[in-house]
Every structure is written in structure tokens, then in C-alpha cells.
Amino acid sequence: MYKAGSQRFDITEPYGVDEFMLFLEGSVTLTSADGSAVTVNAGEAVTIPKEWTGVWETSGYRKIWVIYSADGSGL
């Protein structure tokens, strides 16, 4: 489980792994490099795929997460 406050990250280096997240509180808005955006709220889940880039923005959240890599690299 992970808890965070307000934050904004510009993720310019591609994610090295796939990450599954289930949000228990709060929300996060993920804006991909192509401009598409999704807001994930408490009770919802999302997977950020390996190689994803974009902007991560939140006023705070609590989540359960799992990172994984099919070939074990990037862990």
C-alpha cells in the first residue's frame, strides 16, 4: 500500500515495467504523451504499460500497486 499527497510528475523517461494500481482513496489524472487523459478515482484500477510517458497529477491518494515485467527486466 502506498499513500501520497499532492504531486505532479512529468514522466519523460519511459516506464520500465507494467504497473497495476487500485486506488483506495483520492484520484490521479494520467495524461499520455499523445494528449489523451484519464482520471482514475477511488474504487477504480488502471495499468500503466511499460514504455508509457506522460504527466501524473494528483491532489493525493492511497493505492495498492503491483509492478511486473514479462521477462523480468526493469524490476
Where is pLDDT greater, at 12 or 75? Answer: 12
pLDDT (0 to 100) of residue 19? 95
pLDDT band at 68 (very low <50, low <70, confident <90, very high): confident
- Quote the pLDDT of residue 53: 97
For residue 28, with 0-12 CB atoms within 10 Å meaning exposed, 13-18 middle and 19 or more buried, which class applies? buried
Domains along the chain with CATH numbers: 2-68 (2.60.120.10)
pLDDT of 23-60, one tens digit each? 999 999 999 999 999 999 999 999 999 999 999 999 99
